[in-house]
Structures are given as C-alpha cells and as structure tokens.
Amino acid sequence: MEAVRVVLADDHPIVLAGVREVIERDARFVVVGEARNSSELVQLCTDVRPDIVITDYNMPGDRAYGDGIKLIDYLRRHFPDTRILILTMLSNNLILSSLYDLGVSGVILKNGDLNEILVALAALSQGRTYRGPGMQSGSSVATNRDDIGARIASLSVKEFEVLRHFVSGMTVGEIAEHLKRSVKTVSAQKIAAMRKLDVDSDQALLLFCIKANLFQ
C-alpha cells in the first residue's frame, strides 16, 4: 500500500524535527516536505499535493496567505483534497472546536503527547475526523459567565482572530487589511470581544489577554 504523504508546517525547527521523528516511526506515512511559514507551505502543497498537512495555527504568515483562519480558508479552497491537522498551543476549547467548522479534520495540542499524531493521521487517512482527549465539547464550557474561562469561551472564532492580531501589535486598519475584512467589521468584532471579556479599554484588553495566557 502506498504511504500517506504528509507535509509539516511550523516556525519552530525543534517542533518540526519532533513531529517528523514521530511520523517516521510508522511506515504508513511519509513526510514529503517541511515549511516554516505560510508561503513555503502553500508552495509545497502546490508542488507535491500532499494527502495531509500538519500545520501550526499561529505561524508567521505574509500578506498573501497569513495564518490562522486566513491560511486554513486558503488551503481548504485551493487544496480541497488535502486534509488539515492543526497542531497548536491554544487552550480555549470552544475556539479549538470552532476550527472544525472551518474545515480542519483534526486538532492536536502541542503540550500533549506527540505520539497522538499517529492516531490522528490514521483517522484522517481513513477519511475520519479526529477529536483527541485534549478536545472537549463546547457544551462543557462553564456556565458561570463571570469566570475568566467562560468569558474567553464566549468569543467567536473571528473575534478571537482579531484579538490575536491586536495583541501582536497590529492596528485595526492593519488587521482589516491582513484578514481581508472591512475596518468597520474588524472594529465591531474587537468591540464585541471587549464586551464579552468585560474590559473597557485597549490597555485593559491587552492586560486581560496577557494574564489569561490567551496567546501563549
């Protein structure tokens, strides 16, 4: 049987080496390329048309492809036969669950056991979606809306994306250009996120995200 062809994408060489080492233990899979940014990943997908892409969610992008939602959307539209497995440090279960709505086939947490990758690859290669032990149903989110975790969980995936870029230092205008949304839309999503997190200023928003380790 022909091995399942996998492309890896992460901006940390140590992560790439670790994931490759795990995959190479199983003859069912073969790594056919590695990328350290979005442009390299898209070029690899164009050149080798892998069966599965394993990519970090937060990864240095560019104006053409970005990362996060923008990159996932591009990959889904241009490489519909390639299944996407997200490897991430994000810990918000509702946001992680929302990634499945964007079309990803599996999510694995970086702080878990990397051997889980083989289990996920087996599921994806059989046409199944993978939800590992690190993933919880959105219905399990705490109902106490005053709790920090519950407030974070109330964010939509698009609001979360806007916050991620805002915390990285981008202005609303720059985020709008990067995500190909209008300034009005991004501003409204940022305001909605601030309301859900119960903060009333940019400084308070930044402080909340830092204390909550929202984008570690």
pLDDT score, position 82: 97
pLDDT score, position 138: 41
CB atoms within 10 A of CB 114: 15
How far is C-alpha 112 from the chain's CA centre? Answer: 16
- Distance of alpha carbon 83 from alpha carbon 123, whole angstroms: 11
Residues 6+ apart with CB under 8 A from 148: 212
pLDDT score, position 93: 67
If residue 19 lies in a helix (H) or strand (E), which one and from where to where?
helix 13-23
Cβ–Cβ under 8 Å, residues 85 and 50: no
Going from N- to C-terminal start, the domains of the chain cover 4-138, 148-211
Amino acid in position 6: V
- Distance of alpha carbon 99 from alpha carbon 132, whole angstroms: 14
Can you name the residues that pair with 31 across neighbouring β-strands? 6
Q: Taking the model in full, what pTM does it have?
A: 0.68
Residues 6+ apart with CB under 8 A from 189: 156, 158, 159, 162
Q: Which CATH class is domain 148-211?
A: mainly alpha
Residues 6+ apart with CB under 8 A from 128: none
CB atoms within 10 A of CB 144: 10
Give yes or no on whether 4-138 and 148-211 have one common fold.
no
Distances (CA, A) of 69 to 48, 90, 115: 23, 14, 26
Cβ–Cβ under 8 Å, residues 106 and 131: yes
Residues 6+ apart with CB under 8 A from 103: 72, 73, 76, 84
Digitized pLDDT (tens) for each residue of the chain, 216 residues in all: 789 999 999 999 999 999 999 999 899 999 999 999 999 999 999 999 999 999 998 886 667 787 888 889 899 999 999 999 998 887 666 677 778 888 899 999 887 778 889 999 999 999 999 987 656 444 333 333 346 777 887 888 889 889 988 888 889 999 999 888 999 999 999 999 999 988 888 888 887 887 776 765
**CATH of segment(s) 4-138:** 3.40.50.2300
User: What are the structure tokens assigned to 204, written together?
Assistant: 């308070």
- Distance of alpha carbon 101 from alpha carbon 157, whole angstroms: 10
pLDDT score, position 181: 92
